[in-house]
Amino acid sequence: MESTARGENAARGFPAMPRPSSPLANLRRSQMRR
C-alpha cells in the first residue's frame, strides 16, 4: 500500500514525494507517529 510505504519513509526521515509542508500533511504524519 502506498500509505504504509509513505509512513515508513516519513519515519526514516525521507519524504516520499517532493511536496511543500502543509498543515494537512503534518496532521496526518502526527497521527501516523502516534
CA atoms within 13 Å, Cβ hemisphere of 9:
11
Q: Alpha-carbon distance 23 to 2, whole Å?
A: 20
pLDDT the model gives residue 23: 73
pLDDT at 27: 77
Backbone angles phi, psi at 11, to 5 degrees: -60, -35
In this predicted structure, what is the pLDDT of residue 9? Answer: 54
pLDDT for 2 equals 54
d(CA 30, CA 24): 10
Taking only the tens place, the pLDDT of each residue in 1-34 is 455 555 555 556 655 555 666 777 777 777 766 6
Give the three cell numbers for residue 32.
Answer: 501516523
Please give the pLDDT value at position 24. Answer: 75
Determine the pLDDT at residue 31. Answer: 76
Distance CA 33, CA 16 (A): 16
Domain boundaries defined on the chain: 2-33
